[in-house]
């Protein structure tokens, strides 16, 4: 099974392949975790605002049990999954799926960068403790949509 740190590296490479100088700072990286010990999940991803109330999200889900990873690209509102593949074997196939997902993400970005949400860009100026700032940032991160691994094609 792929280690989460390797998954984070794959997501980082995907983000770098999507970034461009004319859209500097548009992509926001994030990580999240949940579930219970032995059946938990972790997410590494990035997002960009694509409308006033929606974000375009690239994420890689890492499940402990069953030992699989899922890579998805989706729009939040209304929920629209644009790309989804699962992996439980050869890492080169998963890296290829991540590259394809990055291409889908790039094509789905609005032609002109949409301004970041006011909440996202104004956090640095707010007088929060580091702990409160991290808690608030966690709440603002994308919430993975429900995921049925059985309904997703293999990478």
Q: What mean pLDDT is predicted for residues 123-128?
A: 64
Per-residue pLDDT at 118: 46
Predicted confidence (pLDDT) at residue 57 exceeds the cutoff of 60: yes
pLDDT digits (tens, 9 = 90+) for 9-43: 999 999 999 987 677 778 999 988 887 776 788 89
The length of the chain in residues reads: 155
Predicted confidence (pLDDT) at residue 89 exceeds the cutoff of 80: no
Give the DSSP H or E segment for 87: strand 80-87
Predicted confidence (pLDDT) at residue 59 exceeds the cutoff of 50: yes
Q: What mean pLDDT is predicted for residues 117-129?
A: 59
CA distance 82 to 92: 21
Which of 1, 27, 23 lies closest to 13, judged by CA? 27
Q: Determine the 3-state secondary structure of 59 from DSSP.
A: strand
Q: Mean pLDDT across the chain, nearest whole number?
A: 80
- Strand-pairing partners, residue 55, are 49
Predicted confidence (pLDDT) at residue 98 exceeds the cutoff of 60: yes
Predicted confidence (pLDDT) at residue 4 exceeds the cutoff of 50: yes
Q: What mean pLDDT is predicted for residues 68-81?
A: 90
- For residue 3, what pLDDT band results from cuts at 50, 70 and 90? confident
- For residue 101, what pLDDT band results from cuts at 50, 70 and 90? very high
Q: What mean pLDDT is predicted for residues 76-94?
A: 86
């Amino acid at each position: 099974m792929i280690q989460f740190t390797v998954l984070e590296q794959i997501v980082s490479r995907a983000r770098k392949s999507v970034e461009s100088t004319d859209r500097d700072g548009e992509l926001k990286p994030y990580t999240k975790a949940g579930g219970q010990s032995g059946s938990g999940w972790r997410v590494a991803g990035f997002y960009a605002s694509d409308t006033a109330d929606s974000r375009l999200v690239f994420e890689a889900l890492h499940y402990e049990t069953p030992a699989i990873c899922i890579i998805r690209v989706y729009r939040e509102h209304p929920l629209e999954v644009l790309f989804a593949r699962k992996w439980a074997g050869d890492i080169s196939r998963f890296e290829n799926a991540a590259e394809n997902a990055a291409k889908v993400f790039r094509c789905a970005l609005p032609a002109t960068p949409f301004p970041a949400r006011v909440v996202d860009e104004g956090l640095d100026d707010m007088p929060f403790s580091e702990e409160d700032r991290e808690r608030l940032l966690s709440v603002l991160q994308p919430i993975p949509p429900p995921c049925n691994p059985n309904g997703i094609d293999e990478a």
